[in-house]
Structure 1
Amino acid sequence: MIERLYLRELVTFDEVELEFDKGLVVLTGPSGAGKSVLMSAILSSFGHTTQGAASLCEVNLLKPAGLQSDAYKLEDDLTIKTLKKEKLRYFIEGQNISKKVLAELFSPYVKYLSVRDKGGFDSESLLEMIDSSLVAKDKIYKKLLKEYKKRYANYKTKAAELAKIKEDEVKLAELIEFATYEVEKIERINPQPDEEEELLKVKQQLSRIDKIKDALNSASEIFACESSVEEVYRLLDKDTSAFSEMMNQLRADFEDTETLADELEEVNVEEVLDRLSDLTTLKNRYGSIEEALAYKEAKKEELSGYQNIEQDKSMLESFLALEFTELTIIGSRLSQSRQQESLVLESLLREYLETLKLPALSFVFESISLDERGIDKAEVTLGSSKMATLSGGEFNRVRLALMAASINNISQSKGVLILDEIDANVSGDESIAIATMIAKLSRVYQIFAISHQPHLSAQADQHIVVTKEGILSKVEILNDEGRVQEIARIIGGENPTSQALEFAKRLRV
């Protein structure tokens, strides 16, 4: 519910501050006074239009039930502000918001019916209206519809998974071939984590083996002098144990070196170099031997996943076939209830449409493949005419009648409804019927309507008159006496007769 409107510098309005009541708020006044301009400011605050935007406009409202946003912090008492300088900027609770996001946020709660707008009779809107009527009075239908929507959402997810598998099947052979090649290449080389270091050491030793052997042969002559050195120690009465120990160690080291030289003689140098080349190739591709081994395991796991794809595909196909059947059964039950409810709505509408001098409205259902709403496609005809052939005025009156007929079992607030001269250019009987329908809608909507007819003005919970003095427009909330005077003006012109005043008083009773 919109509680307050404040604006400055709006075309012919200098400053306006209004506090609104619940129910039906009617704006009247002479042509050209600024009623549509004022209404456009309200619409602009919710992202519907930028025409006639004020330099500053603030709208205070109670947060609608269900309104929530992950991007914006919303209090129970909301403030929407628009500022117009070089361009129009929007704020909600002091937070900058784009016009598009603002419109999307409030689209379920602020509805605008314009003569130029022929929306609302598409299949989705019609089915939503019938579903809302059924949900409000039939708990079994409500539960069934909830189950269908939940299962259909899962069905769509699984169908997308199957489509992805089928799409990937074209590439699957290539993926398997590539993964197999990568695994086999690494397994063929079969690298070990510390292997390269050992091979480099062997390579270094091989490059020095000849020098080692020559040096070993020359150094071995030292053992020919060993006994002479020991004799010198004995003659000098010195201990030979340290010398003997050193010579034994030297002899052992020389033997180890000879053994290594013999082993290196058996090593195939080309094999060592080739092995090092293979390891270097892996390092260049994967970063390190450890990373190559990790990549191999990942590819093996990937291959295992590919092998399960065919099984997954078969399981998904079976699930979808079964779920399609189940959803079709639930969709058929929903369709039966909808068609029965449509007959109830047709009956409720008949009286409204007769007063509007319009033929009966009929719902037409067509079975379609499964979608998020079931198996139904719905449209309406007015007599033998389709909705697309109606004039803007006829179209809006039918839409209004349909909305009025669909709220019989609804008590919770449905937000704000803004009407643009909905009763313009109609007869007296039609004006009465329109006023009755709008008054009924005002039980669940806060309605803002511009009117040039006395009947709708008389039904208002709050009556606001817009007038113009010179170049400036002004607004006034009328008391009971003022309302009678304004309704009389609508009936009889600027100087209403006593008969017009009497008729205005009777309308207000």
Structure 2
Amino acid sequence: MTTVAMLTHLSIKNLAVVDSISIEIAPGMTVVTGETGVGKSLVVDGLALLMGQRAESHLVGQASNKAELCGIFLLDQAPLARAWLAEHDVDNSDSEVVVRRVINTEGPSRAFINGTPMTLAQLKSFSESLLDIHAQHEHQALLKRDSQRQLLDEFAAVTPLAENVAALFEAWSALQAKQSALIASQKDRADRIGFLEYQLEELTKLDLQPGEVSALDTELLQLANADENLSFAQQAQRLISEDDTGGGLGALQSARLALGKVTDPNLGAARDQLDQSLLQIEELNRDLLRYLDVSQADPQRLQWVEHRMQQIHDISRKHRCPPEQLIALHATLSDELAQLSDSDAAVETLSDDIQTAKNNWEAEATRLSKKRAKGKAKIETAVKNLLTQMGMSNARLEVSLAPYAQPSRFGQEETTFLIATNPGQTPQPLNKIASGGELSRISLAIQVATLGTSAVGTIIFDEVDVGIGGGVAQTVGALLRTLSAQAQVLCVTHLGQVAAQGHNHFKVTKDANATAIELLSDSGRVAEIARMLSGIEITKKSLAHAREMMMTAQSI
């Protein structure tokens, strides 16, 4: 058995006549039975509310001012559901996801997925990847044209081709949008070109060089302080070299002569230190003399540097960028001007590209249409045969492939499932079928015919057995069991022939106080199926018949 996702737990508190029920749901086919009026469909109603169905305050029971519903789903093989959780920043590290909804008597209801608050629309969007309810029209995925198209494509094994057609259409549309934007911006483009040319002329005239700003900053600092620097350097050189002050180089030289005459070896180190000091002072004096020889104030150079820096800063302020970025800005504006200047040629080039993209889409869309037509005939025949087995021999499915008025990402035709239930009747969309039982059986036939293509893991059927009995009911039950090999099936039924096909069996009961639900043992199942077959009085014959039906189902 393979499933996309699976419902493992459902709890309902204070909903209508339900005080509190909690059930664990296993894989395979699960049936829910009970006498008329006990509230069998409340399980389906609870799941519908978990899917985002609009909730009315009168649904809240008498026990408190709120009703609570909780469903736990296993996501081991549910990439679509996991992708949805990731897209909406919901933790999906666990193998399970908890969906919860609280309905209040006053104020709006609240919804949560793994504890994260969700809107009703988000809840509905997420649950569509988990559950498909075949009961009331608004809950059926099969009633949506998108689902019908996807189902046909999966049945015809053309999903990859359909995805490629969609990608080609998007590429074609993107090129058309780009060309339209270019054409619409012709006047704006001309204005922008004129402005760019003015800016580039100014930047080109400035002719800023790499590293120039830093070099000018350094030079400006030197030139601005040139007079002061020369004065201090001259003062230092005089203090070092002049002897009339009684210090400086002359004093050190006299001290060296005096120490040179000392014969005490204890002063040898002092003499050596003095020698080093003399060498350093002499070198310092030479450096100062060289500096004084080459350095001089240059008012004209200072004025030029100040003017150059003013130009640079004025333009950088105009462009609202640091001076160092003006060179990069020049390159950026040049590239933009080149692109705008070439836009006329770009429009022509895009025209060629658009035609190529259109041809590519048309070729693949035509191939998709042919394959869909073949799949249409096969699915119509398969569903017709199944409907006949289920007592609807006059019913037929027609898959309409009507051409779109305009090219579409979905191909050249719109897919619509139509049904006719009587001879001579014009096929109508599925949601026009009046009988809930007929609609459920049609849905079952489509599900079985397309076995293996369902994107959801749990399929719920309510009223699938309305208006049938005998061999037809047994066939419906067998088909439900067959479907449960591919997806988890939950079926509310009043027919023993259908209930006997289940892998698991819940019975709903009701007393004066509340509604309860229990998982039946094998003996309990026999008794319940016998009741459903014979009515109030359970006979040995009905018990034997129930056992035989269960054994037959297990052999399938």
The TM-score normalised by the length of structure 2 is 0.67
Counterpart contact for 1:414–1:444, Cα < 8 Å: no
- Equivalent position of 1:465 in the other structure: 507
Separation of aligned partners in 2, 1:119 and 1:91: 21
Task: Supply the AA of the counterpart residue of 1:308.
Answer: D
Separation of aligned partners in 1, 2:187 and 2:542: 81
The TM-score normalised by the length of structure 1 is 0.72
- Equivalent position of 2:485 in the other structure: 443
Separation of aligned partners in 1, 2:76 and 2:205: 68
Tell me the SS of whatever aligns to 1:424. Answer: coil
Pairing 1:203-352 to 2, within 5 Å after superposition: 282=315, 284-287=317-320, 290=324, 294-352=328-386
Counterpart contact for 2:473–2:495, Cα < 8 Å: yes
Separation of aligned partners in 1, 2:70 and 2:147: 32
Separation of aligned partners in 2, 1:131 and 1:96: 35
Separation of aligned partners in 1, 2:492 and 2:326: 76
1:182 maps onto 2:182 in alignment? no
Tell me the SS of whatever aligns to 1:120. Answer: helix
Counterpart contact for 1:2–1:62, Cα < 8 Å: no
Separation of aligned partners in 2, 1:54 and 1:485: 33
- Equivalent position of 1:131 in the other structure: 153
- Equivalent position of 1:63 in the other structure: 76
**Any idea what the Cα deviations from partners look like across 1:269-304, whole Å, max 9, x if unmatched?**
9x9999999777535523465555554443222112
Task: Supply the AA of the counterpart residue of 1:29.
Answer: G
Residues 115 and 142 of structure 1: CA distance in aligned 2, closer, same or farther (over 3 Å) = closer
- Equivalent position of 2:409 in the other structure: 372
Residues 170 and 283 of structure 1: CA distance in aligned 2, closer, same or farther (over 3 Å) = closer
1:186: how far off?
4.5
Aligned with residue 495 of structure 1, among 537, 546, 555:
537
Aligned with residue 390 of structure 1, among 418, 433, 436:
433
- Equivalent position of 1:234 in the other structure: none
Separation of aligned partners in 1, 2:172 and 2:204: 42
Separation of aligned partners in 2, 1:178 and 1:396: 68
Separation of aligned partners in 2, 1:430 and 1:476: 28
**Any idea what the Cα deviations from partners look like across 1:239-270, whole Å, max 9, x if unmatched?**
xxxxxxxxxxxxxx9xx99xx99x99xxxx9x
Counterpart contact for 1:29–1:465, Cα < 8 Å: yes
1:449: how far off?
1.8
Counterpart contact for 1:41–1:54, Cα < 8 Å: no
1:352: how far off?
2.3
**Any idea what the Cα deviations from partners look like across 1:60-119, whole Å, max 9, x if unmatched?**
534333242422332463041526486534242x55555543443342232122233376
Aligned with residue 142 of structure 2, among 120, 137, 151:
120
**Any idea what the Cα deviations from partners look like across 1:367-419, whole Å, max 9, x if unmatched?**
33543332222224334222254314234432322222121xx3898511122
Separation of aligned partners in 2, 1:286 and 1:160: 31
1:314: how far off?
3.0
Tell me the SS of whatever aligns to 1:68. Answer: helix
- Equivalent position of 1:5 in the other structure: 10
Tell me the SS of whatever aligns to 2:142. Answer: coil
- Give ranges in structure 2 of 5+ residues lacking alignment: 1-5, 61-65, 225-292, 421-425
Greater mean alpha carbon deviation, residues 188-197 or residues 95-104: 188-197
- Give ranges in structure 1 of 5+ residues lacking alignment: 136-140, 205-252
Tell me the SS of whatever aligns to 2:35. Answer: coil
Task: Supply the AA of the counterpart residue of 1:41.
Answer: G
Counterpart contact for 1:26–1:451, Cα < 8 Å: yes
Counterpart contact for 1:3–1:19, Cα < 8 Å: yes
Greater mean alpha carbon deviation, residues 64-73 or residues 317-326: 64-73
Separation of aligned partners in 1, 2:343 and 2:125: 40
**Any idea what the Cα deviations from partners look like across 1:20-76, whole Å, max 9, x if unmatched?**
222211111123323232333334445456566844635253433324242233246
1:356 maps onto 2:399 in alignment? no
**Any idea what the Cα deviations from partners look like across 1:334-391, whole Å, max 9, x if unmatched?**
2212211211112112222332243322223233354333222222433422225431
Separation of aligned partners in 1, 2:176 and 2:454: 37
Counterpart contact for 2:156–2:374, Cα < 8 Å: no
Counterpart contact for 2:32–2:507, Cα < 8 Å: yes
Separation of aligned partners in 2, 1:496 and 1:309: 87
Tell me the SS of whatever aligns to 1:336. Answer: helix
Counterpart contact for 1:120–1:399, Cα < 8 Å: yes
Task: Supply the AA of the counterpart residue of 1:484.
Answer: V
**How large is the Cα RMSD of the aligned pairs?**
4.2
1:431: how far off?
4.0
Task: Supply the AA of the counterpart residue of 2:394.
Answer: L
1:453 maps onto 2:487 in alignment? no
- Equivalent position of 1:405 in the other structure: 449
